Structure 1
Amino acid sequence: MRKHIHTVVGRYKGRIHGWDVVNEAVLDNGELRKSKFYNIIGKDFIKLAFQFAQEADPNAEFYYNDYSTAIPAKRNGIMKLVKEVLDSGVRVDAIGMQEHNGLDNPALSEVEKSIVDFASLGTKVMVTEMDISVLPHVNPNMGAEISETYQYKNELNPYKEGLPDAIAKALASRYKDFFKLYLKHDDKITRVTVWGVGDGDSWKNGWPVPGRTDYPLLFDREYKPKPFVKDLIELAKQK
């Protein structure tokens, strides 16, 4: 692991300014994922990964990144993980919140708790992989666990021919609510990255149910901005 991190980070030293060092190491219940790194090294692999990255380029930033960070147990598990690394004297510069969301889940109040709690550790907060699915969720806490797949059913793919006006308005409202929250905490959040450009390219079309048609991004299948994009720009200007 040290050789890999030193080789990759060292190659781009001074050119890449931020690295996702450890990704998706915490399960929804707050426990550590039993990855190969965990099974071979133990939980110290997390601290060591950040340590090796900092050895390779002390001037870069180093991030922990995960999905479903609004789940209280997972939020607590992430905070415990990051705090242990920080207490060991190794830097974690930011926590990335992936923000793969739905129209009605998670609750904005829980997202806000995660922003505030993560920032309380002294780290930056970053929105790293945002999209908002308009499709029915197979389970309410669906995040980005790619091993979860479900059989196709017509009722899980209701918008094959296009998005009804009511759902398009709900998507617009949901995006605006999230960006209002991000702007409220712009002293903590340093970036918002959307996970894709046009709807046709989104991973949400094939996950967790293959063959579905989703509309989760800021641009449509012709790469035209959706009407609410101008509202997000205006919100930022007002701030």
Structure 2
Amino acid sequence: MACSTTAGSIEKSPGVLKETFKDKFAIGTAMNTWQITGRDTAATRIIKDQFNAIVAENCMKSGRLQPEEGKFTFELADQFVDFGEQNNKLINGHTLIWHSQAPPWFFTDEEGKEVSREVLIARMKKHIHTVVGRYKGRVDTWDVVNEAILDDGSYRESKFHQIIGEDFIKLAFQFAHEADPEAKLYYNDYSMAEPGKREGVMRMVKKLQNEGVKIDGIGMQGHIGLHHPEIGEFEKSIEAFAGLGVEVMVTELDLTVLPSPWGDQGAEVSKNFDYEDKMNPFPDGLPDEVMDAFNARYLEFFGLFLKYQDKISRVTLWGVADQHSWRNGWPIRGRTDYPLLFDRENKPKEVVSDIIKLSNQQ
């Protein structure tokens, strides 16, 4: 028997996440357009009350900021930064260089032909200098490069890599540092518990460090499922990345309860599959046993984060409440998922109270 979407919610506030973790690590969430503009008042209140860090979900991606060459659209990004400053939040800019959601013009000339290495480097430099420079001293951290390494540890054959080579990563970090020497600069990727990716990211970061490039941290996207990844492998990656002498962040944290069409829980946004009822098993709420498994899995991971609180500087949820999550539409449109800490009525789930109790014991 399925319970309602609010099952597990609690009538009284379980406590305040940002207060619980204030001496351990920052606790954050991604903000969408409705929250940034204040139209979603319920979610905005949760962000103000519960979180002390925010990240731009979409409004700072290159395709949004510079849809046409030289024509920047900063209105929403400005509002995002203003919100962070007005509410005393740690502000994370996401993301400067990413193969996905980059504007098509970035890689082609007026005739539609692929640009030269020199032209693409110049375009990268202008974009990063313009964006980071605009928010110099205001945005605390930047996800400079996103998802450049494949699960086997090799470089993704993105247009950036095809045209520039692996140096595009070094150049991106250099340009960001030039634009704001005080901002912290991070590399961010998914499936970071995969041994091959772990080793590939470590090689890449060591190479940057050996070349004198400023890189302050590594973001481990936390797109997890009930059974994947193995928490022991996630722990190995925390230890390995921290061993490089950089900060470790858990970014984009959410927990899907839905079956995966390909048997793993990566986050390759270009993948999509057709809808089938069997792939949307909980349209009206979660059975008690699934809710119990959900709670236990979140507690297990927060226990891990608390264990490494001296190495983890921030944990960020990828959304506020279940209705906001990209998980509802990826990789199959039309599904109903329950991946976040607040339900569709914007109430804290039972696990929030459990997480706070766990933290208070540490």
Q: What are the residue-to-residue correspondences of 1:160-179 with 2, within 5 Å?
A: 160-179=283-302
* Residue of structure 1 equivalent to 2:212: 89
* C-alpha deviation, 1:141, in angstroms: 2.4
* C-alpha deviation, 1:200, in angstroms: 1.0
* C-alpha deviation, 1:74, in angstroms: 0.9
Q: Distance in 1 between matches of 2:137 and 2:315?
A: 23
Paired residue type of 1:156: M
Q: Does 1:52 align with 2:159?
A: no
* Residue of structure 2 equivalent to 1:187: 310
Q: C-alpha root-mean-square deviation of aligned residues, in Å?
A: 0.8
Paired residue type of 1:98: Q
* Residue of structure 2 equivalent to 1:61: 184
- Calculate percent identity across the aligned residue pairs: 60
* C-alpha deviation, 1:27, in angstroms: 1.1
Q: Contact 1:105/1:140 (CA < 8 Å) preserved in 2?
A: no
* Residue of structure 2 equivalent to 1:77: 200
Q: Contact 1:101/1:132 (CA < 8 Å) preserved in 2?
A: yes
Paired residue type of 1:141: D
* Residue of structure 2 equivalent to 1:238: 361
Q: Does 1:199 align with 2:326?
A: no
Larger radius of gyration: 2
* Residue of structure 1 equivalent to 2:225: 102
- Secondary structure at 1:129 match in 2: strand
Paired residue type of 2:330: W
TM-score (norm 1): 0.98
Paired residue type of 1:81: M
TM-score (norm 2): 0.65
Alignment deviations for residues 162-214 of structure 1 (CA, whole Å, 9 cap, x no partner): 11011001000000000000000011100100000111111001101111110
Q: What are the residue-to-residue correspondences of 1:131-150 with 2, within 5 Å?
A: 131-150=254-273
Q: Does 1:3 align with 2:126?
A: yes
* Bigger relative contact order, structure 1 or 2 (CA pairs below 8 A, ≥6 apart): 2
Q: Does 1:17 align with 2:156?
A: no
Q: Specify which of 226, 234, 237 is matched with residue 111 of structure 1.
A: 234
- Secondary structure at 1:115 match in 2: helix
* Residue of structure 2 equivalent to 1:42: 165
* Residue of structure 2 equivalent to 1:225: 348
Alignment length (residue pairs): 239
* Residue of structure 1 equivalent to 2:14: none
Gaps of 5+ in 2: 1-123
Q: Contact 2:229/2:265 (CA < 8 Å) preserved in 1?
A: no
Q: Does 1:156 align with 2:286?
A: no
Paired residue type of 2:313: T
